[in-house]
Chain A
Amino acid sequence: MIRWLLGLIGLGLAATQALAADPVMIGVGYLGVAGTRSTLSLVEQPAENDGFAGARLAIEDNNTTGKFLNQRFTLDERRIKEGEDVVQAATALAEKNGFIIADLPADALLKVADALRDRGTLLFNAGAIDERLREADCRSNVIHTAPTRAMLADALGQYLVWKKWSRWLLVVGSHDEDKLFADALKRAATRFGAKIVQERSFEDKGGARRTDSGVTLIQRQMPVFTQQAPAYDVLVAADESEVFGAYLPYRTWDPRPVAGSAGLVPRSWDPAQDQWGAIQMQNRFVKLNARRMTALDMQAWTAVRMIGEATSRTNSGDVKKVADFIKGPDFSVAAFKGTRLTLRDWNLQLRQPILLVDGRMVVSVSPQEGFLHQVSELDTLGYDRPESKCKLK
């Protein structure tokens, strides 16, 4: 009894001291590119603060938790303009922040990762979906919360095969990233037993995405473009460049559904996702940002929450300690996807379910039932350990 009482007094003292001390400050930087890309659909046009807004919400969430642990999180935002030196900007951010969320093209991200390596800054790739960042070009100081093209393609492929839509008409854009997505879709077809009955390419001849009488023209072009195809179940479009994909639904020569870059689209997150407690976070997001939450917002939110989760578990703001915990076997994070998310230890990619969305609703969530795996069913999406070319260093 006396020991118990003494323990209680001791605990009380410790708690008082902790409260009296200055909070542990945890600086998070966010490095993005200024300006937004143009999309075919006005509804899909990203907001100026796409991604940043997700990070801001996660900082708030972390601080609500942090007030119980005497930890305080800050967000330092930086957008680089065309022609600006990305390494210089990243180094300046790293002066004050041990963690940096990056939404950068692959090459820029690699430059930053290599420049900050000796400093010990931990980077989170929230934007780039390129496979090579997790394969030949993987880095031990870069954690990926963005899914990869192969994960997205596999998620879609599993569903199409489950639906028994196994004959695909593949239409590929003329830009490099369109071809990369097409490669991922072809890999998915091979893995899950679908057949690409024909591949067509859609040349980007330039032209405006906003015109006054566009609909009339598109309505004539798209049926012609898709006619005389071999028998197929679904048209799969690879158009990351936003040149033609969104023009396809309801305009194909044969009455067929569209998937891939338009129609049924694989994404890490969607404004329509309300399952697994997501509604509360969606509400918090709208309240804070006066708009709905995108996939990039979610990828940034998850990155900042991973930092918060690790700092509360380790009760520390020390970057090395936090990084080791995140990369260790005991780490997982909850992100409203019905299952815990963990890291693939061979390339630091976050395992995650992928939503299949149509712009209004979440149609399905992959992995689909029946796609089994000996470690985690989430590893049926994307490149698995035995296939990986990544050597972390």
Chain B
Amino acid sequence: MLRMWRIGLLSGLALVAAPAHAFIAYVSNEKSNTVSVIDTESWTVTKTIKVGQRPRGIDFTRDGKFVMVAVGDDDTIQMIDARTQAVVDSLPSGPDPELFAQDAAGKLLYVANENDNTVTVIDLERRTRLGDIQVGVEPEGMTISPDGKTLINTSETTNMAHFIDTASRQIVANVLVDARPRFAEFKHDASEVWVSSEIGGTVSIIDPGKHEVIGKVNFEIPGLRKEAIQPVGIGMTRDDKTAFVALGPANRIAIVDVASRKVTKYLLVGQRVWHMAFTPDEKYLLTTNGVSNDVSVIDVAAQKVIKTIQVGELPWGIAIAP
């Protein structure tokens, strides 16, 4: 069954007549040094896994067998066995890893190391370090193009999206965006890259061919100061029609119409919302709310928050089993 799901995901096909399915979500708790495991049928925390210090970026390996979690203060990425739900290994990242991206085959992992202005390349099979790429000050956001040829890294103090050719591991272009870019996301059709700027308060939309900012998403919430609107995580539906943007201390998720680049709705979630993940059937979107120590569950079709789940302290990243 898992295998079938994966094939569906990889080929980018819409899934038809998917059966009601329970999924498992993994949430990194930055302050507790734990990962909370959530069952999406009962919407309860079924297990809390002890990990290294300051867990943030989290994702599954492509085969669904492991959860990788960047534990920044231990300067490594830990591997959690998804079957036993225990830490079984670690990867040789550079200092202070935060976010990472992997290629479509799940062979190479690219890690942003905030402390030394580099992106580290790791061979996932051998679990060895292949090399480093020099980027701007405080690398953070990471995404890879659907064809795997271009890696995008954002640097928080340089305020750029660096376009890196994955074959030569050289930077081919640098695109200036608004202040403190934190997260990058490709449209599934590869036509645009969306980059959130936490301090700038915008999402820049970049044409990955021309390496130019071709548009911006702006946010305005009545009664809220502009400074409180700090975009971080971005999630895009598989049909590329709707994007969800976490607005940090604005405590809201913005729903954006991708075609017009306009916000259609704001959903109130928990405090300081960081990141998000869809269930594989895209029925639900789960967001991590740092300050209120919980996860909000959004019904994607109804565009409503239906549930709040208490997790560990300062929940940051989230990944859902494929």
Contact = CB atoms under 8 A, between A and B. Distances in A.
B159 A65 contact: yes
A283 interface: yes
B114 A280 contact: yes
Contacts of B209: 4, 8
Given A11-B210, A64-B137, A280-B96, A340 B201 contact: yes
B136 interface: yes
Given A4-B209, A340-B179, A340-B200, A280 B138 contact: yes
- Chain B interface helix/strand/loop/mixed: loop
B89 interface: no
Contacts of B249: 338
Interface residues of B, number: 30
A96 interface: no
Contacts of A283: 96, 115
Contacts of A339: 199, 227
A343 interface: no
A280 B200 CA distance: 19
A68 B179 CA distance: 16
B157 interface: yes
Contacts, number: 72
A277 B179 contact: no
B156 interface: yes
Given A64-B137, A280-B114, A332-B200, A340 B176 contact: no
A11 B172 CA distance: 12
B176 A312 contact: yes
Contacts of A108: none
A334 B210 contact: no
B158 interface: yes
A11 B198 CA distance: 29
A191 interface: no
A277 B210 contact: no
A376 interface: yes
Nearest to A378: B227
Interface in B179-202: 179-180, 198-201
Interface string A64-89: 11001100000000000000000000
Contacts of A340: 179, 199-201, 227
A137 interface: no
Contacts of A69: 174
Contact of B160 (A68, A281, A338): A68
Contact of A280 (B115, B176, B201, B211): B115
Contacts of B83: none
Interface of A: 4, 7-8, 11, 15, 61, 64-65, 68-69, 277, 280-281, 283-284, 305, 309, 312-313, 332-334, 338-340, 376-378
13 contacts: A11-B210, A11-B211, A64-B137, A65-B136, A69-B174, A284-B115, A309-B159, A309-B179, A334-B199, A339-B199, A339-B227, A340-B200, A340-B227
Given A4-B210, A64-B117, A339-B199, 4 more contacts: A64-B136, A65-B159, A281-B138, A340-B200
